[in-house]
Amino acid sequence: MDIDVFTKLHQGQWDRLQRLSAQRKLTGREADDLVHLYRQGATHLSYLRSTAPDPALVSQLSLTLAKARGRIASPHDSSWRDLVRFVTLTLPAALYKVRWWSVVTAAACLLFALGVGLFAGANPDTLDRFVDPATQAAYANQAFADYYTEYAHASFTALVWTNNAQIAGLCVATGITGFIPVYVLLQNSFQIGVIAAVMHRQGADAIFYQLILPHGLLELSAVFVAGAAGLRLLWAWLVPGARTRARSLAEEGKTTLIVVVALTVTLLVSGLLEGFVTPSALPWWLKIAVGALACGAFWFVTFGVGRWAVDKGADPGVTAEEAKSVIAVAG
Amino acid sequence: MTGDEILTGEGVALQVRAASVVARAGAWFLDALATAAVTIGLIVLASWALGDTLDWAEAQALMTALVFLVLILIPATVENLTHGRSLGKLAFGIQILRDDGGPVRFRHCFGRALIGFFELWMTSGGVAFLATLMNDRGKRLGDLLSGTYAASIRGAKSTLLPLYMPQELIGWIRFTDLRPLPEGLALRTRQFLQRAGQFPPPARQRLGLRLAAQVEDYVAPSPPPGTHPERFLAAVLFERRLREQAAADARAPRLNAQLAGVEALPFHIPDPEV
């Protein structure tokens, strides 16, 4: 059919489709019309494309249809049930997906910190060159303990939380570069090793572990997982497997973002521990037990709940809605 | 499927172009200006409301929270509520869509904003610029990780000139039998007439003759001897449109009646208005 005739015949429908997709509230009849017109428009487009693909008309009609499609599939408001599902299924599933990366990263970082600590402890000269002896003494006697009691509990918690969340977010946001997460992780481990060595040389081991273990177990776990999630992104990009590179990145990227959300919550808990439990007057073994419990809970969620969630079909990379639009590819 | 196409659930490929790098950069620059304005406003507001009451830890925490709010949370929320638009995107006709063409959700927006903090703000757009150049849909890293892309939603303007009827051929064409032209040929002829002025004369004549020879197969009797090929083509296209319009007008009442029958609810169930 002649393009002008075709356009004249259907322009009214396309205009109405455009008006309806821009309209905020639709009555029942209008909603029906929207879907009808959308389907007819799709038919018109396929007809045009196969017979008279005039570029301008194809492009205009495509946009009209894309808008209508967006309106028809417009985001329903997030319901309470979605939120519960997100917390109980999607979050643990995301942590479960990165579990081995987390374990390996954590092991590597702890080994590195241990190595630095042992080396610095065995070679006082090297340590002195990093941190001069007077500072070491002052640090062990006053500064390290003061750090936890200098500010009000709540503001200290806020400081530690925002700071750690920033580090975790940075690890993930820059994960695809590879070197920034590695740099952040190694720097962190290095500092821990050096501080441990300083405290050891000053004979303040007990204070060090009493002050760092209650919150450190959970906090370090979270930072390691953040680094691991970031590095995993690089891996998803370099080694996409049977998926296309873009799809691999998109799926793993979303998984990683959920890990960030999970870690932000985790770091809030560890910030609370650091602000309220670490400087409290509780006996030291109780503080460490609380910290160990929190850390254990985190890893239980990762391995236990995460496994259960994945078995139940939770997929952090693809939402139920997106799964319907995934195009099958041979691989 | 090429980078421009989105396949809908109906199996129809929509042609939605990805936004150009320049448009995206411009849109981001506008957004950055707006962000700067909001930031200054918030800082003034915070210092006016809080003054010197904060200790260092609180101030530091507030600072981090402010950066998070202005550079990540607000952009993500704006993009989510407007289904993938923002001030700059509005100005440059850009909308963020999912790879499958669907609307974006908060997850996508949040992911784009979080990665954007690194690739746009920490590197002044450098990383985003490089990433955009390196894939067929002009995605920045945040788009790659969220499975979205920036679509240009200003359609191409129609450039088809109106058809015309050469006066000297009216008498001939009115009593001429036109067989249906193959669709490709009709569109090609129309585009040729439109651009005829842009061809160098020899090529224009050669193309005109070739098209006229092809079209002549579908026309009987042939045009009067000595007719200029372009005027012949114009006459055929114009007459074809007239006749198809008449046919379509004759078909329309029946089609509409059928459609009304299909869309009505069965068993005389009333269709509620609301």
Judged by CB atoms closer than 8 Å, whether chains meet at B146 and A254 is answered as: yes
Contacts (Cβ under 8 Å, ≥6 apart) of A268: A161, A165
* Distant-in-sequence, close-in-space partners of B168: CB < 8 Å, separation ≥ 6: B231
Among all residues of chain B, which has the CA nearest to that of A38? B10
Which chain B residues are closer than 8 Å to A321 by Cβ? 102, 105
Instruction: Read off the pLDDT of residues B47-101 as tens digits, 9 standing for 90 and up.
Output: 888 877 777 778 888 888 888 899 989 999 999 888 889 999 999 999 998 888 8
Tracing tokens 């929190």 back to the chain, one arrives at A294
For chain A, the three-class secondary structure string (H helix, E strand, C coil) is CCHHHHHHHHHHHHHHHHHHHHCCCCCHHHHHHHHHHHHHHHHHHHHHHHHCCCHHHHHHHHHHHHHHHHHHCCCCCCCHHHHHHHHHHHHHHHHHHCHHHHHHHHHHHHHHHHHHHHHHHHCHHHHHHHCCHHHHHHHHHHHHHHHCCCCCHHHHHHHHHHHHHHHHHHHHHCHHHCHHHHHHHHHHHHHHHHHHHHHHHCCCHHHHHHHHHHHHHHHHHHHHHHHHHHHHHHHHHHCCCCCCHHHHHHHHHHHHHHHHHHHHHHHHHHHHHHHHHCCCCCCHHHHHHHHHHHHHHHHHHHHHHHHHHHHCCCCCCCCHHHHCCCCCCCC
Assess whether A100 and A184 both reside in one domain: yes
Cβ A232 vs Cβ A252: under 8 Å: yes
Q: Domain of A154?
A: 81-323
Is A152 touching B (CB cutoff 8 A)? Answer: yes
Does residue A175 lie in a domain region?
yes
Q: Is residue A174 part of a domain?
A: yes
Q: How many CB pairs under 8 A join A and B?
A: 203
A65 and A85 belong to one structural domain: no
Cβ contact, residue pair A75, B105, below 8 Å: yes
Say whether both A8 and A94 belong to one domain: no
Residues of B in contact with A155 (CB under 8 A): 54-55, 57-58, 61
pLDDT given for residue A329 in this prediction = 55
CA distance A208 to A140: 8
**Domain annotation covers residue A221:** yes
C-alpha neighbours within 13 Å on the C-beta side of residue B19:
30
Q: How far apart are CA B239 and CA B165, in angstroms?
A: 8
Cβ count within 10 A of residue A180: 18
Which of B120, B135, B144 has the highest number of chain A CBs within 10 A, making it the mutation to test binding with A?
B144
Q: Determine, for residues B17 and A59 on separate chains, whether the beta-carbon distance falls below 8 Å.
A: yes
Report the residue of chain A nearest B66, measured CA to CA: A162
| Per-residue pLDDT tens over the stretch B179-221 | 888 878 888 888 888 888 888 999 999 999 999 999 989 988 8
> Are residues A159 and B252, on separate chains, in Cβ contact within 8 Å?
no
Q: Hey, of B1, B6, B14, which one would you mutate to test binding to chain A, going by the most A CBs within 10 A of its CB?
A: B14
Provide the terminal-to-terminal Cα distance of chain B, rounded to the nearest Å. Answer: 40
Instruction: Identify whether residues A138 and A258 lie together within a single domain.
Output: yes
In-domain check, residue A330: no
Taking the C-alpha atoms of residue A311 and residue A92, their distance in angstroms, rounded to an integer, is 11
Q: Are B155 and A159 a contacting pair at CB < 8 A?
A: no
Statement to judge: residues A13 and A99 lie in one domain: no
In terms of Cβ atoms closer than 10 Å to its own Cβ (0-12, 13-18, 19+), residue A121 is middle
CA dihedral B222, B227, B233, B239 (to 10 degrees): -70
Q: Is B249 on the interface with A (CB under 8 A)?
A: no
A328 in B contact zone (CB under 8 Å) = no
Task: Mark whether A249 and A267 lie in a shared domain.
Answer: yes
pLDDT score, position A79: 65
Least confident stretch, B105-109, B258-262, B263-267 = B263-267
Same domain membership, residue A159 and residue A246: yes
The last residue of a domain, from among A28, A51, A72: A72
Residues in chain B: 274
Instruction: Render each residue's pLDDT in chain A as its tens digit; 331 residues.
Output: 778 888 888 899 999 999 998 888 888 888 888 998 999 999 999 988 888 788 888 888 988 998 888 888 766 656 677 778 888 888 899 999 889 999 999 999 999 999 988 888 888 887 777 777 777 777 777 666 677 777 777 777 777 778 788 888 888 878 888 888 999 889 888 888 888 888 887 777 777 788 788 888 888 899 999 999 989 989 988 888 888 887 888 888 888 888 888 888 888 888 888 888 887 788 888 888 988 999 999 999 999 999 999 898 888 777 766 666 666 655 4
The CA radius of gyration of chain B, in Å to the nearest whole number, is: 29
Closest CA to A143 of A156, A130, A153, A134: A134
- Asked if B240 and A2 count as a contact pair (C-beta separation under 8 A), the reply is yes
Beta carbons of B187 and A53 less than 8 Å apart: yes
Give the pLDDT confidence score for residue A331 in this predicted structure. Answer: 45
Q: Which of residues 226-285 of A touch B (CB under 8 A)?
A: 233, 246-247, 249-254, 256-258, 260
In a domain, A329, yes or no: no
CA distances from A62 to A44, A52, B15 (A): 10, 14, 5
A87 and A48 in a common domain: no
Taking only Cα atoms into account, the Rg of chain A, rounded to an integer number of angstroms, comes to 28
Counting the structural domains of chain A, the total is 2
Which residue shows structure tokens 């530091």?
A: B60
pLDDT above 60 (res B2): no
Q: Residue B4 pLDDT > 70, yes or no?
A: yes
Domain ranges of chain B: 5-152, 167-268
- DSSP type of residue B55: -
Task: Provide the CA A268 distance to its chain's centre, in angstroms.
Answer: 15
Across the interface, whether the CB atoms of A62 and B155 are under 8 A apart is answered yes
The answer to whether the Cβ–Cβ distance between A62 and B163 falls below 8 Å is no
Burial environment of residue B93 by CB neighbours within 10 A (0 to 12, 13 to 18, 19 or more): middle
Same domain, A222 and A120: yes
CA dist A15 and B60 (Å) reads 54
pLDDT of res. B210 = 92
SS3 for B97?
strand
Residues 251-270 in B contacting A (C-alpha not used; CB under 8 Å):
252, 263
Closest CA to A52 of B182, B194, B246, B213: B182
Q: Inform me whether the C-beta atom of residue A77 falls under 8 Å from chain B C-beta atoms.
A: no
Instruction: Report the complex ipTM.
Output: 0.80
User: Do residues A316 and A94 lie in contact, with contact meaning Cβ atoms separated by under 8 Å?
Assistant: yes
For residue A331, being part of any structural domain is answered with no
Q: What are B259's two structure tokens?
A: 């459609």
Contact state of B263 with A174 under an 8 Å Cβ cutoff: no
Instruction: With respect to residue A328, please indicate whether it lies within any of the assigned structural domains.
Output: no
Residue A100 sits in the same domain as residue A34: no
Interatomic CA distance for residues A259 and A227, integer angstroms: 11
Same domain? For A187 and A58 the reply is no
Supply the DSSP string of B137-172, one letter for each residue.
T---HHHHHHTEEEEE-SPPPP-PPPP---GGGHHH
Q: Which residues, numbered 92 to 131 in chain A, qualify as contacts with chain B under a Cβ-Cβ cut-off of 8 Å?
A: none
Which of A211, A182, A191 is CA-nearest to residue A279?
A211
B145 reaches A (C-beta below 8 A): yes
Assess whether A206 and A94 both reside in one domain: yes
The verdict on a CB contact (< 8 Å) between A5 and B244 is yes
Nearest to A4 by CA among B256, B239, B245: B245
- Any idea what DSSP says for residue B223? P
